[in-house]
Amino acid sequence: MVTPRRDDGYSQTHPSATRCPFWVEDGRLEIETGTCSFITLEQTSTTDLKSNTPIRSTLLFDTQSAKEGTAYFHFTVNGDRVWQTEVPLPTGPGFQPIRFTLARDYPAGITLRLHFHNHGANMWRILPFVIDDTP
């Protein structure tokens, strides 16, 4: 779900910013930035998350045609920033693996948030965040 503006630090500091449309297709979160500059999405965890748990996902993007600048992404667990990245713009098509390990335990029911902001018309896709149990 979209984070309410009152709970979204970015929209509080950028009150005129327009939220981006998003949708889920084939299990991927898709964000299109032709008419907007940011989105912060959240959901409640349904299970306890243990310290040292490795999490993974993938950020996918087509050719990003925005003028020179940077796209920013970050992921928080109960307000703790556990992952962030920047993608220089413009750029060709590509992907960035997302990998992080939780530094502490979190109980079920806490808030997970994904924040993104950039400028220009771009298309981003994010695969589901999953516990990385690969050896």
Specify the CATH number for the domain of residue 93.
2.60.120
DSSP state of 49: B
Domain that holds residue 122: 5-128
Establish if 57 belongs to a structural domain.
yes
Establish if 135 belongs to a structural domain.
no
Establish if 84 belongs to a structural domain.
yes
pLDDT tens figures, 63-112? 777 778 888 999 999 999 999 999 888 888 999 999 999 999 999 999 99
Establish if 55 belongs to a structural domain.
yes
Establish if 134 belongs to a structural domain.
no
| Encoded tokens for 84 | 């962030």
Phi, psi (5° rounding) for residue 68? Answer: -50, 130
Task: Report how many domains make up the chain.
Answer: 1
Q: How far apart are CA 133 and CA 135, in angstroms?
A: 6
pTM: 0.87
What is the length of the chain? Answer: 135
pLDDT tens figures, 20-77? 889 999 999 999 888 888 899 999 999 999 999 999 999 998 877 777 888 899 999 9
Q: What counts of helices (H) and strands (E) characterise the chain?
A: 1, 10
